[in-house]
Structure 1
Amino acid sequence: MESIADVRTPEAALAIPRFEDGFVNMQELLRSLAESIVNEIMSAEADQMCAATGNSRNGYRERKLTTCVGTLTLRVPKLRSGSFFPDDVLERYQRVDRAIVAAVAEMYATGTSTRKVQKVAQAMGVERLSKDQVSAICGHLDAEVGELVTRPLGKPRTPYLWIDATYVKCRRDRRVASTAVVTAIGCDEGGWRRVLGLGVVDTEAYDSWLAFLRKVRDRGVRGVGLVTSDAHPGLVRAVSEVFQGAAWQRCVVHLMRGCARAAGSRQLSRRVSRIVAPVFRLKEAGAVRAAYHLAVDVLGSCCPEAAAVLEGTEPDALAYLDFPPSHWKRLRTNNVQERANREIKRRSRVVQVFPSASSLERLAGAVMCDMDEAWSDARYFSEARMAELYDERQRGANGEPLTEEQLEGFRLVARQAIEASLELADMLEAA
């Protein structure tokens, strides 16, 4: 890449951008100089970081930056371990706002009410959009989202996978319908989270889930040990076929909500929640299983419907116990997906109704691009914790049978936990 000194040489002078009449194109010259200088600065900062930490460079990723002298193509350095990001040059979440602008622009193009479009645009500070701006924004976003969902996932194993769907209103077949945006998030053996898949599918259809998960697998996902999700129809069957040998964990938060709904009345649903919640807060596998069985028995006397829901899902609700205890908190729920869904909802609330499935997928993809980039700054599990996963499986630590004395101790701990939760519920109701 040329430096400022290089531009003074005769060879560089011949490459100076000019108009057809021979005059120097000053704007293009300033743009290319700015692009070169900023890239050199980022490269030098990345080299300094590597020298200080013992890290090494691993290529770069391109980002566009619109400036007063034109659009710069920035080459942001990538590192072997961790990440480098020039916060003083780029805004991390700049693309999300551009995704909303693209959705609004498409609303104009598809004939949505002018009054409604203007209202949405004003809420974002957008006064007007030209046809060229719309094309440029959409093309850039589509390229980034396409790269995210088609990139090879490399050699690292992906032991953990979270899958979920969120629903947004979208115009399909000339009517407004609640449309599902499904995402797959994985954690590799190094402890890093990555976005593995994104799509707009029919969540009720087994074929839709099967096609979505096959795309994720074909990009290189391997070594999956546990898949956490809600009990979407067709999803469990598709998981068992695509990721053979992997366990399925039903999100315990959704399970507790299902038990509460089975209770019917508000007062009884609160009591059901107080009985079930302590089960998943216990720290030992034996205590969790003992508390689960006790909760089924207690619910049987006050709410048989909730007891049936809990009893019928025991293997799937407790699948996380076969993995290291330090991982349990993040494996038993779909919280990592819930946070991503909330961000998609927050960004889509401005648009309200998307004019097409492609515009919805564009916005959701831009949100996931930014989340994927943010996750590259910190591991979800440390290297030491991820090592526990494979070490425990080699030792077979979880397969040792419990003595009757240990079982009785776990039952006592479970009974105390549930009784304490119910006492607190009674005190709150009395107050």
Structure 2
Amino acid sequence: MVEVQSMTVADVVARAADGSLDEFLKNAVAFFVRELMEAEICAEIGAEIGAARGQVAPESRETHRNGYRPRGWETRVGEIELLVPRKRSGTAYFPSFLEARRPAEQAIFAVVMEAYVNGVSTRKVDRLVEQLGVHGMTKDRVSAICRGLDERVEAFRNRPLEGNYPYLWLDAKHVKVRDQGRVVSKAVVVAYAVHESGVREVLGLDVGEVETGSFWVEFLRGLKRRGLAGVKLCITDQHEGLKQAVARVLGVPWQRCTVHFARDMGAHVRRDQRGMLSAALREIFQAEHGDQARARVGQVLEKLASTAPKVCELLEAAEEDLIGFYAFPKEHWPKIRSTNPLERVNKEIGRRSDVVGIFPNDAAVIRLCGALLLEQNDEWLVSRRYLSAESLATVLAKPEPVDRTVEELPVAA
């Protein structure tokens, strides 16, 4: 300890010259944080019992020291093995200089490290590793980090679904994944829903080679095996294979996202016509009831027949899929006529995946997205209800269509 306190500038220069300065700095940092932790836990225990270290507590002690727990700490001078003091009771001690990573932050750290140690990192990942100050990262260490996250994410993805989920949203985002030496685009598909209690939940997550109808069929079957029930409306963007999968597996009405439809129609008119088109479509989606919406569709078709024939063709074909939400309670309309309520979550997934750039494998995609969605799900469970349970009860009471044809899934043993 004396050597740490009494080194001269000449000593530091000499250590730098013979290559031993790094080890000296590592030992100095370890010494400093060890003393800091001892001071912090003494202060915590003293505050809890009303006496400083070495003093007699005015009353019986409510807590004592209880040994140490090892914890690795990555620093710019290398990994330091900390011995974090423990208390027998009360609030657990956590060093002030450490930051407790949330699951999503742990996941992005793990994904970056996995890409790095497997030699498939991009320049972006190399810069992140440098900024994180991580040294000596091995495949075994990365595997250990990933294993803990994967267990949590898998438990979340495969948990039983209990109760009814009247509204179901399905969404997909494409990411770049390294697969057998090639970089390919894969679809991250996510299922969200509103539970009968009015709370939103993330129900499922998976990665597919391509966003095909067969993939969606298997994804929806997996949700049903886990207990998905009571779905009355499925809201998604346009995808013919997905629409067919919803009809085949769930047998419920399909609501096409009105926001994405209006955005897509802008590509079929001149720039100076887009404002007029947007206003016309908005009138359809903000009608007082379904019959009025159908009447407005007719008016728009008549008005745009000569100037935007392609828009008229697409609107006429999609009419029933676009205004299906009018069959449900009016207070639900703003939230079930599009996938916009999920935009913030989708943007967050995009922001995190953009940081990585190219994922090393499918498991890394699920790890990062799953950790982020797990956090979002926990936030939704304790936040204000998305829809009232009373209004959802009226939706669940709606009779099933008599001509519905849904495949029968085998009962799990």
Q: Does 1:31 align with 2:86?
A: yes
The residue number in structure 1 matching 2:324 is 319
Report deviation, 1:172: 2.0
CA distance in 2, matches of 1:381, 1:127: 45
| Counterparts in 2 of 1:254 and 1:115: CA distance versus 1, 3 Å | closer
* Secondary structure of the structure 1 residue equivalent to 2:355: coil
Report deviation, 1:267: 2.3
| Root mean square deviation, CA, Å | 3.1
| Counterparts in 2 of 1:114 and 1:166: CA distance versus 1, 3 Å | closer
Which of 247, 250, 261 does residue 267 from structure 2 map onto? 261
The residue number in structure 1 matching 2:126 is 118
Q: Deviations over 1:207-240 (max 9, x none)?
A: 1111111111111110110000012231111111
Cα pair 2:206 2:366 within 8 Å, conserved? yes
* Secondary structure of the structure 1 residue equivalent to 2:386: coil
Which of 292, 299, 302 does residue 297 from structure 2 map onto? 292
| Counterparts in 2 of 1:126 and 1:294: CA distance versus 1, 3 Å | farther
Q: Does 1:181 align with 2:236?
A: no
Report deviation, 1:204: 3.6
CA distance in 2, matches of 1:176, 1:114: 12
CA distance in 2, matches of 1:191, 1:95: 26
The residue number in structure 1 matching 2:237 is 230
Q: Does 1:105 align with 2:160?
A: no
TM-score normalised by length of structure 1: 0.69
Which of 250, 253, 260 does residue 247 from structure 1 map onto? 253
Q: Does 1:336 align with 2:347?
A: no
Which of 140, 146, 152 does residue 144 from structure 1 map onto? 152
| Counterparts in 2 of 1:7 and 1:277: CA distance versus 1, 3 Å | closer
CA distance in 1, matches of 2:123, 2:135: 13
The residue number in structure 2 matching 1:96 is 104
Report deviation, 1:280: 0.9
Report deviation, 1:327: 0.4
Q: Which runs of no fewer than 5 residues in structure 1 stay unpaired?
A: 19-25, 40-65, 72-89, 395-431
For 1:58-73, list aligned pairs within 5 A: 67-68=94-95
The residue number in structure 2 matching 1:193 is 200
* Secondary structure of the structure 1 residue equivalent to 2:320: helix
Q: Deviations over 1:177-226 (max 9, x none)?
A: 22210000011111111111000014442211111111111111101100
Cα pair 2:190 2:206 within 8 Å, conserved? yes
Report deviation, 1:242: 1.1
| Counterparts in 2 of 1:114 and 1:185: CA distance versus 1, 3 Å | closer
Cα pair 2:124 2:357 within 8 Å, conserved? no
| Counterparts in 2 of 1:303 and 1:121: CA distance versus 1, 3 Å | same
The residue number in structure 1 matching 2:7 is none
Q: Which runs of 4+ in 1 moved over 6 A?
A: 4-8, 15-18
CA distance in 2, matches of 1:287, 1:121: 58
* Secondary structure of the structure 2 residue equivalent to 1:105: helix
| Counterparts in 2 of 1:388 and 1:171: CA distance versus 1, 3 Å | same
Report deviation, 1:6: 9.0
Q: Deviations over 1:10-37 (max 9, x none)?
A: xxx9x9899xxxxxxx958x4363xx52
CA distance in 1, matches of 2:257, 2:354: 26
AA in 2 matched with 1:117: V
Structure in which a larger fraction of residues adopt helix: 1
Q: Deviations over 1:259-304 (max 9, x none)?
A: 22222x3223443223212211233333222212211221212100
CA distance in 2, matches of 1:114, 1:237: 39
Cα pair 2:235 2:336 within 8 Å, conserved? yes
| Counterparts in 2 of 1:17 and 1:353: CA distance versus 1, 3 Å | closer
The residue number in structure 2 matching 1:153 is 161
The residue number in structure 1 matching 2:389 is 383
| Counterparts in 2 of 1:318 and 1:118: CA distance versus 1, 3 Å | same
Which of 155, 172, 182 does residue 165 from structure 1 map onto? 172
What is the identity percentage for the equivalent residue pairs of Structure 1 and Structure 2?
Answer: 35
CA distance in 1, matches of 2:83, 2:374: 31
The residue number in structure 2 matching 1:367 is 372
The residue number in structure 2 matching 1:221 is 228
AA in 2 matched with 1:274: A
Q: Which moved more, 1:168-177 or 1:232-241?
A: 168-177
Cα pair 1:165 1:182 within 8 Å, conserved? yes
Q: Does 1:274 align with 2:279?
A: yes
Q: Does 1:309 align with 2:314?
A: yes
* Secondary structure of the structure 2 residue equivalent to 1:184: strand
